[in-house]
Structure 1
């Protein structure tokens, strides 16, 4: 038991650093998706792309502001503010702060879907964005 506690204590500082990478965030989302649905079988880049480009009953899709090609900059439909590329290959700073990722998913999903996105939806989107080269 003591050995387990020592291992957990040593691993704890690594967790935030891992969460501040796109891959680490995908791992965290996978754990959340599995907890929500024990039958969860993994993320899909194809589902992520479809979610990103589809209107979900509201006026916008993710691609309304971020463009259908996340390797390029987008522009907010209302404010006109330039949005740097979503794909980490085109914007290495993207998804390097888990708190910021969570904040923007929460805000944008409410605009696009009218609710918070599920862990599975977020994981699909991140998986697709990470697959772009």
Structure 2
């Protein structure tokens, strides 16, 4: 039992450290594009804000699928598919893979906002997600 707890703690710490490194590298890239300073509260506001992606469509927000509590699983509005928790504190794989982060930003920003997210928005959102302990 103690060994299992130790392994889980080690995985969580490793994932958290890897997420921090990956996020910092992406933030540096976004800064090089003129974004920043980044703000966790701005990310939270974006997360909750309702956007109309296309004229005539219903408005939606990030929280519609991912939820308000990022430590809990979400559920896709259209497909009903389960979405694993976003908080790196409970899902150590979150924010660890640069390619996956950019893939999901591209897909989700277009679906939610009706456009690509700006480097500023991405940085703010990552800080918000990373801060969900």
- Common fold by TM > 0.5: yes
Name structure 1 gaps, 5 residues minimum: 1-19
Name structure 2 gaps, 5 residues minimum: 1-16, 54-58
The 1:33/1:96 distance shift into structure 2, 3 A limit, reads: closer
Show CA shifts across 1:47-87 (max 9, x none): 11111111123321111100011111000001110001001
The TM-score, its normalising length taken from structure 2, stands at 0.76
CA RMSD between the two structures? 1.8
Number of aligned residue pairs: 112
Q: Secondary structure at the match of 1:21?
A: helix
Is this contact kept in 2: 1:29–1:120, CA < 8 A? Answer: no
Greater radius of gyration (CA) = 1
The 1:21/1:92 distance shift into structure 2, 3 A limit, reads: same
The TM-score, its normalising length taken from structure 1, stands at 0.76
The answer to whether structure 1 residue 22 and structure 2 residue 19 are counterparts is yes
